[in-house]
A and B are shown apart, each in its own frame.
Chain A
Amino acid sequence: MTPILELRNGTKEYRGVPAVKDVTFTLHRGEVHALVGENGAGKSTLTKMLAGVVTPTAGEVLLDGRATVLSTPAEALRHGIAMVYQETSLVPSLTVAQNLYLADKRFFHRLRGIYIAGQQFLQSLNFDVDPMALVSSLGAGQKQMVEIARAVHHNANVIIFDEPTATLTPEEKHQFFSLVDRLRARGVSIIFISHALEEALAIADRITVMRDGEHVVSDEAARFDRESIVRAMVGRSLSDELYGARARRSPREAREKVLSVQNLSMGKAVKNTSFSVFSGQITGVFGLIGSGRTEAAKVVAGVMKRDTFHGGQVRLDGRPVRYRVPRPAVRDGIVYVTEDRKLEGFFETMSIAENIHLSAVAGGRSRSRVISLREMKEIADTWIGALNVRAINGDARVIELSGGNQQKVVVAKALVQKPRLVIFDEPTRGVDVGAIAEIHQLINRLADEGIAVMVISSYLPEVLQLSDRILVCRQGRIVEEFAGDSADEETIMYAAVH
């Protein structure tokens, strides 16, 4: 039987850096196919090629055995391939029914008509969503239902889910799984990207594991168990060193209270939250996406402004501070290391050396008003050496480096400013396994040196491995605090979702 969708020897490069290397992936008719792998393994890129979001640099997409060029998502949709993203692509200011019929060819719709049709259609799928409700008023799970309904409405026979369960509550997850079953019963083929291995094992017919942009193994789900998937994902026992067997060290003692945040509020993202960060130890912050952890950190670092009224207090060494822009925060020694380095981490037209040096200038570590090339080279060489950035030399552009080395440059940019409080937001996102270990070592060293370190991560093993104290963030609040050695995955996750 020919597979309904196939990627043959697909390669995708971004500016010469391959995200997916020579991968062949097949999806059979009516199957649920789970795609697992670490962050940056190339899962998203692979599915984006199948959904026409990006075009392969090399290789071809076969639809029902015929080579097809899918150059836009709309074209893929015409061929019956729909992708459902983590962040939904619905228009929040329109109603559910309007969103469902948005991409229809008809130029003009009668509102009453689409509400009736929408109602019938949603019922036929057994979805409990009001077609007249505004999308902005729906929860994450319901939004996802609408996305799925839209895909089915467009007669999609292949639906790709990009980490569908990451933001769902347990009840919503349950609903989602029964939905997948119903879709499978209708003959829809499903690709399902997931971090949660138990989910993949439970609902998938087949599982494909990817690592570092390469295909590792594809097989029936029944032939896998948790251990064998993890082995395939990490490829070597390095992951055990990193996460599996936690270093049984006792937590570092807190020294001084560097940062204390009281009743901080910012819009809908951060609601009346309080926490403290101490020097000489690592404070881990765990929370799901959308729990307000990044926003709280950004308010502290002056990137965002807290509410004008009842916005709460931020104290640095007991002194109340309120930053309108990040610059004074940086000058006071608070540095935020971004979670999205491409968007706000570095300057792509500049070399590694220029990037690091400019950051030193910003941090007041270079007094001169005129740029000295010698000083630039000295500073850059020091940090390239200290962080083991692998590049030909300091003149290489940051954009040409691998994810891990890019991240090291971003970290160097922060450390060159000699901070007293460093906030790492997802420090190892899209970073290869080797570099993860180096970055973790570095973070530990910073805390040993007496710097106050805050690590925000949505990857539990990372939080557990690094933290001396763990704060759990949910719905804009810090809801729970654990000592680093007393917590385990289940209790933390429980606090984060309930």
Chain B
Amino acid sequence: MAIGFATKDRGGRRRNLLELVVMAVTAALFVLFAIGIEGFATPGNLGVVLSNSASLVILSCGMAVVIVSRGLELALIAEMVAGATTFSILINAGVGGPEALLLAVGAMALVGCANAWLIAYVEIPAMLATLASAMFVTGLVRYAVLGGEFLLLLPKSNPAVVLLSGDILPGVPAPVALMVAALVATGFLLRYSAAGRTIYAMGDNFQAARLGGLPVRTTTIVVYVFAALMALFAGLVTAAASGTVDFRTVTNGSLLFEVILVVVLGGIPLRGGRGGVRNIIVGVALIAVLRNGMTLMNVTTQMQDVIKGFVLIIAIVLDNYLNPRDTETDTAGDL
């Protein structure tokens, strides 16, 4: 067979070799940093690495589900910021914690539904629909809620700050618990639910899924609502950690880039239909180790961006080399 490199697992399915390479590189970097950087391999620092990647993991869960269904969610960061703002404003206005969370969940579900409606019913390409909704949502929240400001300061009494900056169990910070919960939820959705099988089917062959009578439209709603909710939780985690909601994370775009980087590096191809929770973990592990190591080495943010961009290109080139595309059997729209 043409795919000589690929290994096979139980079901005779191809294992993604990129995933193995990324795991090996992560391990190598870890060893290198542990030897070369003082204070990297301490329990304290590793705890920080874990806590710091919580919001990235949660966002990546949302993005991964969308990409497996062969969609793209460019409004993820906008939803994250908008969700955190909605929650905090409600708290400031005197609404109770649980009610505020419920309303924020409702608002984000609405945004997710709007995205899905544009994509599944109006049939606008996902990239354009979510790009437009990202602009719309950010602009609306800044105009209507913040009065043009781009920064929202959270008081120390904000329940999100209180809850998410403490430990849920002794030694388990709340963001880490939330991160694990997100991974478990994503795993269940993709692997064991009927909707999850439809998500893979849509990513694999949308025409066949539609023709076979699978609920492609309602599943699109499930996908984008799930992503929006993940964004909301990630937003709360980030807001609690920094004490602010910063709209510049939407406009500078580097977080969105990082999320896509995690998904692609982890081995979830943009053409959809493949990948799972394990891939998210693999992708985040590399980015988290790299980010922490570079920060400890005092690499400037700009230089970090250069390196991350470089890593993405290397990964894509490597993927093309390891899983050569067969132009004769490609389906239209493959990336």
Partner of B12, one of A329, A369, A370, A397: A397
Interface-located stretch among A178-186, A263-271, A283-291, A359-367:
A359-367
In the assembly, what is the distance between CA of A417 and CA of B10, in Å?
29
- Whole-angstrom distance between the Cβ of A343 and the nearest chain B Cβ: 6
Please state if B198 and A358 are interface contacts (CB–CB under 8 Å): yes
Please state if B205 and A371 are interface contacts (CB–CB under 8 Å): no
- Whole-angstrom distance between the Cβ of B98 and the nearest chain A Cβ: 27
In the assembly, what is the distance between CA of A66 and CA of B148, in Å?
73
Q: Tell me the nearest residue of chain A to B203, going by C-beta.
A: A349
A-B contacts at CB below 8 angstroms, number: 104
The verdict on A422 contacting chain B, using a C-beta distance below 8 Å, is: no
Most buried by A among B194, B195, B215, B217: B194
Which A residues lie within 8 Å of B194 (CB)? 361, 366, 368-371
Please state if A344 and B273 are interface contacts (CB–CB under 8 Å): no
The verdict on A327 contacting chain B, using a C-beta distance below 8 Å, is: yes
For residues 208 through 222 of chain B, which have their beta carbon under 8 Å from a beta carbon of chain A? 208-217
The verdict on B197 contacting chain A, using a C-beta distance below 8 Å, is: yes
Partner of A327, one of B12, B208, B213: B213
The verdict on A345 contacting chain B, using a C-beta distance below 8 Å, is: yes
Scoring B residues 1 to 45 as 1 if CB is less than 8 Å from chain A, else 0, what string do you get? 110000000111100000000000000000000000000000000
- Whole-angstrom distance between the Cβ of A73 and the nearest chain B Cβ: 12
Please state if A371 and B192 are interface contacts (CB–CB under 8 Å): yes
With A14-B328, A16-B1, A358-B212 given, is the CB distance from A347 to B217 under 8 Å?
no
The verdict on B193 contacting chain A, using a C-beta distance below 8 Å, is: yes
Scoring A residues 61 to 80 as 1 if CB is less than 8 Å from chain B, else 0, what string do you get? 00000000000000000000
Scoring B residues 273 to 312 as 1 if CB is less than 8 Å from chain A, else 0, what string do you get? 1100000000000000000000000000000000000000
Please state if A15 and B11 are interface contacts (CB–CB under 8 Å): no
The verdict on A331 contacting chain B, using a C-beta distance below 8 Å, is: yes
In the assembly, what is the distance between CA of A396 and CA of B273, in Å?
17
Interface size class of A (residues with CB under 8 A): 35 or more
Scoring A residues 413 to 454 as 1 if CB is less than 8 Å from chain B, else 0, what string do you get? 100010000000000000000000000000000000000000
Scoring A residues 137 to 169 as 1 if CB is less than 8 Å from chain B, else 0, what string do you get? 000000000000000000000000000000000
- Whole-angstrom distance between the Cβ of B333 and the nearest chain A Cβ: 12
The verdict on B329 contacting chain A, using a C-beta distance below 8 Å, is: yes
Please state if B192 and A344 are interface contacts (CB–CB under 8 Å): no
Binding site for A on B (CB under 8 A): 1-2, 10-13, 191-198, 200-201, 204-205, 207-217, 273-274, 328-329, 331
Of all A-B residue pairs in the complex, the 10 with the closest CB atoms, nearest first, are A330-B213, A344-B207, A362-B213, A347-B204, A362-B214, A16-B1, A327-B213, A344-B208, A349-B204, A395-B11
Besides A325-B217, A346-B205, A347-B273, 11 new A-B residue pairs in contact (Cβ under 8 A), listed by A number? A301-B211, A327-B210, A330-B213, A338-B211, A344-B205, A344-B207, A345-B208, A349-B273, A366-B194, A371-B194, A413-B212
Task: List 29 A-B pairs, Cβ < 8 Å.
Answer: A303-B211, A327-B214, A329-B213, A330-B212, A343-B205, A343-B207, A344-B205, A344-B207, A344-B211, A347-B273, A349-B204, A349-B273, A349-B274, A350-B200, A350-B201, A351-B11, A358-B197, A358-B198, A359-B212, A362-B198, A362-B215, A363-B213, A366-B194, A370-B192, A371-B194, A397-B12, A397-B13, A400-B12, A413-B212
